[in-house]
Structure 1
Amino acid sequence: MAENRILSHMLAGIVRDYGEPVMIWQAGTLLGTLLVAWLFARLARRMLDSRRRARHEAVRFGAESLHKALFPLLGGVLVWSVQTVLDDYMSTSLLELALVPLIGIASIYIVFFIARRSFARSGQAHAWLSISEKLVSVLVWAGMVVTVLGIQDEVLRWMASVRFRVGTAHMTLLSLTTGLVWVCATVIFALWLGSVYEDRVMRAHSIDANLKVVLSRLGRALLLLAAVLVSFSLVGIDITVLGVFGGALGVGLGFGLQKVASNYVSGFIILIDRSLRIGDTINVSGLQGQVTEIRTRYTTVRGLDGIETLIPNEKLITDVVQNHSSYLTRGYAKAAVQIAYTSDLDRAMALLVEAAQGVERVLPDPAPAAYLVGFGSDGISLELGFWIEEAAKGTAGTRSTVNRNIWRLFNENGISIPYARRDVHLIGGLPAALGGAVEIGPDRAAAVASAPRVEPPCEPGTPFARDASAGA
């Protein structure tokens, strides 16, 4: 009885037509149709390849599955069309059987394409994505086997007979499975639409970079919310219960998730007011680096040492942030130096200007300029001012090169950099200055006694005399 029930579907037609001339006609028609489908699929692949070369890696990653789906999909459409036309003239059991694997395999690769376009944004497959693809493959192949055997009605009746309760709701295995399928399908479809929408927005040239990020994330969030609401309605869940959930979520945000909510709100504020852009070099709380990514919860900053730091967006709103890339990419730098009073001042200033010329990243306009800052106790203070291109990348290396050029040019042209000089004046004789703390021999004492006394340059008791005495 069970064997007759199984053979009463597709397999019965194959057994009936086996060995008949109509089977040869069906086989020839099937092969010809698949050949035409293969040619169309090859042409479609070439057209898609010419369009995807300029696309980012994630699109190319998903297009591989789409290419694999083209042949079975086109083959299924053509076989179904031919089977519909020939059904009134001859038996089409072989064509009907061929439709099952063609449509099933095409469905598998289409699901792969949508999933990869939705989740593999960086061009890399996540671990769970591979597991889900294997699960989809198993389910689709099981469905194809059930369809070929013709026992899908019995399987559906058995699933509907398995009943259980979830809270106060009575559910069956069929309703639960159907609900999960609808939820997954709508969510994945919404994520795929969000991915396509984000790709379109990010490729727009007339929209600011920060506004692109805001629009893409808002669009994906709204599409995902709509998908969840639609899937709940299809399953039969009353969406008014989300009002209670929304109230509880608001209370949770008010007490336990203040920082998280603040970071998300701050992220949207940063993206909307465009105070920071990707590529800007900023300094916040002593950390200097380049903004590489602005997320809704945090901002990624790559430091000058190459280490990436995640900074909460709230910190970028409440703390002082120095943006080195806001308006000017150039920066002003100085090099200070002293020369001896006996040096040629004009020559020294000309050498300072020459030291900055030809140095990498030093701008010729405005030209480097030397200034006389003042007259110090040890020498004449000079200063060289110059502008550095792309100062956000750092100025230490450029200033070091300029200082080395100054040192070389001064040495070559006899410009001396003075040492610190201190004059010490002794009040009274040497023994009086030492206060008897040091004993000297008779010969040295006689020499000191016979030496003429040196008068102090200032009156005893003045601050200078006291300082010199203390220093002695």
Structure 2
Amino acid sequence: MDEQALRRIGADIAEWTRDLFGFFYQPSSLLQIVVVVACLALAWLLDRLTRGPIEGQARKIKGAPRFLRIVVAIRRRMGLAYFVLLLWGVKLLDAAAGGPRSQIVAIVFDLALAYLVIAVASRIVRNRLLSRVITFVAWGLAALSILDLIGPVADVLDQTALTVGQSRISALLVIKTVVVLAVTLWLASTAGNFLDTRVQRSEELTPTLRVLIGKFLKIGLILLALAVALASAGVDLTALTVFSGAIGVGLGFGLQKVVSNFISGIIILTDRSIKPGDTISLGDTFGWIRELRARFVSVVTRDGREYLIPNEDFITNQVINWSFSNDLVRIDVEFGVSYDSDPHEVIRISKEATAALERVVNHKGVVCWMTAFGDSSLDFVLRFWIRDPQAGLTNVKGEVLLALWDAFKANGIGIPFPHREIIMRTPVTVEKAGHAEIGTAEP
């Protein structure tokens, strides 16, 4: 900014300040200030008197959360609402009396009304910090417009600039770029979430294709919003070529894992190796996939824990997908019976007991085979199929073992336990009935 521009801006500010002080020192202006202060005190008193009844009526609202949020926002600003109504009444009385227009009252009324409307409307945004930022930014612009200061302030911001090469970067350009970026990105995010919701409801698409389309829609809208925002703010996109190249090199070294997980997520969605609802095992983690994200996969286990596993792990590690091609899963249960049991009856009884369980798929058949003559038992393996591995594997094995126990007990089939014989090769002294006897070792 050159020296001549600084002098011109300083002269404008000094002239505006003199006019402002001269205006406030007039008798009519002092009377208007007193009226405004009186309206403010009366509004505070009315807010105190009506707070209880309004809160009681608000608690009766059920089943309408959005409307309730707006009602709560109005209730918290009832003092300001009363203040606006009182100033509006003063304006009507002034107009009816035919007197000169109360400029201070009119300006304060416009400022208060603008803040009330913006503060209530911003409650649509659920993020409290974002809602407050929107309120103050929007009200600041409205206040500058009401006070006819947008032009002078814009000139001052435009004069505050830096020259980088052939580009001129002013404070006004930076503010416009930030505001336009915020608005366009918010619109892109809202539109992306809406389209993603509609895609997820489509029954014609597979779950993997729904996630893939939703992610591409969101990313595409955000990139489009960035390009539109920068172009509309007057930023030369060609000037960002070198800068974007430097950022790309930095991202390549510093965000390798992030980029790797992002690309892995796209590969997973493309080859459809896993999808929401699949039951998987990865290392010690067994559960079902709840959601696929750009960076990780959400896996919920039987104990309610939710693991956020990076996408890269599903590409580089061995993954067991229990429901990749179909939802049928075979389970093996090993058991043994005593040697005095008939193995043919054991096979028949175990197959019938297992087939009677609810989770066992009967049309696939239950198979039981004798596998070995064990040290203490005849060893068998029982194989059956289920369709719901996400409901758990240990519990269905437990149901099968209990069914085998009941069936064997009802048919007189024993389940042995290991026996050990101890042969003592040296004499042992055994005390019995108060006297000692010499025992001999068994042959």
TM more than 0.5: yes
Contact 1:6 1:149 (8 Å CA) reproduced: no
- One-letter amino acid matched to 1:130: R
Task: Using the TM superposition, name which of 98-107 and 224-233 deviates more.
Answer: 98-107
Q: Which amino acid aligns with 1:243?
A: T
Deviation at 1:270, TM superposition (A): 0.5
Given the superposition, is the C-alpha separation of residues 211 and 5 from structure 1 closer, same or farther in structure 2, using an over 3 Å criterion?
Answer: farther
- Partners of 2:296 and 2:310 within 8 A in 1: yes
Which residue does the alignment assign to 2:192?
194
Q: 1:256 to 1:62 in 2, by over 3 A?
A: farther
Name the CA distance, whole Å, in 1 between partners of 2:328 and 2:364. Answer: 11
Whole-Å separation in 2 of the counterparts to 1:155 and 1:248: 35
Q: Which residue of 2 aligns with 1:141?
A: 139
Residue type matched to 1:332 in 2? R
CA distance change for structure 1 residues 409 and 171 in 2, over 3 Å: closer, same or farther? Answer: closer
Letter in 2 for 1:241: A
> Residue 388 of structure 1 contacts residue 395 of structure 1 at CA under 8 Å; is this kept in 2?
no
Distance, in Å, in 1 between the alignment partners of 2:19 and 2:212 is 60
- How far residue 420 of structure 1 moved from its aligned partner, in angstroms, is 4.6
Q: 2:162 aligns with which of 162, 165, 181?
A: 165
Give the CA deviation at 1:268.
0.6
Cα 1:214–1:64 change in 2 (3 A) is farther
SS at match of 1:193: helix
Larger Rg: 1
In structure 2, the partner of 1:363 is: 361
Distance 1:364 1:166, change over 3 A: same
Instruction: Give me the whole-angstrom Cα distance separating, in 2, the residues matched to 1:337 and 1:4.
Output: 98
* Contact 2:69/2:123 (8 A) holds in 1: no
Could you tell me how far apart the structure 2 residues matched to 1:160 and 1:420 are? Answer: 92
- Residues 164-313 of structure 1 mapped to structure 2, 5 A cutoff: 164-165=161-162, 167=164, 170-313=168-311
CA distance in 1, matches of 2:145, 2:438: 123
CA contact (8 A) 1:297 1:313 kept: yes
Contact 2:279 2:389 in 1 (8 A): no
CA distance in 2: counterparts of 1:205 and 1:363, whole angstroms: 27
CA distance in 2 between counterparts of 1:391 and 1:415 reads 31
Aligned positions, number: 353
Aligned equivalent of 1:318: 316
Structure 1 residues 332, 110: closer, same or farther in 2, change over 3 A? Answer: same
Q: Aligned equivalents of 2:305 and 2:420: distance in 1?
A: 48
Quick one: structure 1 residues 138 and 345, their matched pair in 2 at CA, closer, same or farther if it must change by over 3 Å? closer
Contact preservation (8 Å) 2:262, 2:295 = yes
What secondary structure, in the 3-state scheme, does the structure 1 residue paired with 2:237 have? coil
1:240 match: secondary structure: helix
The SS at the match of 1:207 is coil
Unaligned 5+ residue runs, structure 2?
1-17, 25-31, 33-63, 74-100, 430-436
Code of the residue aligned with 1:184 in structure 2: it is A
Aligned AA (1:270): I
Instruction: Specify the alignment match of 2:129 in structure 1.
Output: 131
Contact 1:359 1:398 in 2 (8 A): no
Q: Relative to structure 1, is the Cα distance of residues 297 and 142 closer, same or farther in structure 2, using a 3 angstrom cutoff? A: closer
How many Å separate the matches in 1 of 2:419 and 2:190?
Answer: 77
Give the 5 Å matches for 1:18-57.
none
> Cα 1:318–1:104, aligned 2, differ >3 Å: closer, same or farther?
same
Identity %: 27
1:222 is aligned with what amino acid? G
Answer yes or no: is the 8 Å Cα contact 1:373–1:382 preserved in 2. Answer: yes
The range that moved more, 400-409 or 268-277, is 400-409
2:52 paired residue number: none
Report the CA distance between 1:103 and its aligned residue.
Answer: 8.3
Q: 2:351 aligns with which of 353, 376, 380?
A: 353
CA-atom RMSD, angstroms? 4.5
Contact 2:118 / 2:139 at 8 angstroms: preserved in 1?
Answer: no
Structure 2 CA distance for aligned equivalents of residues 153 and 367 of structure 1? 84
- Contact 1:343/1:415 (8 A) holds in 2: yes
* Distance in 2 between residues matched to 1:103 and 1:360, nearest whole Å: 66
The Cα offsets for residues 129-161 of structure 1, whole Å up to 9 and x where unpaired, read as 322322322333344444444454444445445
Post-superposition Cα deviations, 1:87-127, rounded to whole Å, max 9, x if no partner, equal xxxxxx99x999998888777777765xx4xxxxxxxx3xx
Name 2:332's counterpart in structure 1.
334
- Helix, strand or coil for the counterpart of 2:353? helix
Residue 322 (structure 1) shift: 0.6
Which is worse superposed, 323-332 or 410-419? 410-419
In 2, distance between residues paired with 1:302 and 1:422?
Answer: 46
Q: What is the rounded CA distance, in whole Å, between the counterparts of 1:297 and 1:384 in structure 2?
A: 41
Maintained 8 Å contact 1:302/1:308: yes
2:77 aligned partner: none
Gaps of 5+ in 1: 8-14, 16-52, 54-59, 69-92, 117-124, 452-471
| 3-state SS in 2 of match to 1:325 | coil
Do the aligned residues in 2 keep the contact of 1:284 with 1:322 (CA within 8 Å)?
yes
Equivalent-residue separation in structure 2 for 1:191 and 1:153 (angstroms): 32
Q: State the shift of 1:217 in Å.
A: 2.0
Aligned to 2:275, the other structure's residue is in SS state coil
Q: Residue 398 of structure 1 corresponds to which residue in structure 2?
A: 396
Q: Residue 205 of structure 1: SS of its match in structure 2? A: coil
Q: 1:302 to 1:244 in 2, by over 3 A?
A: same
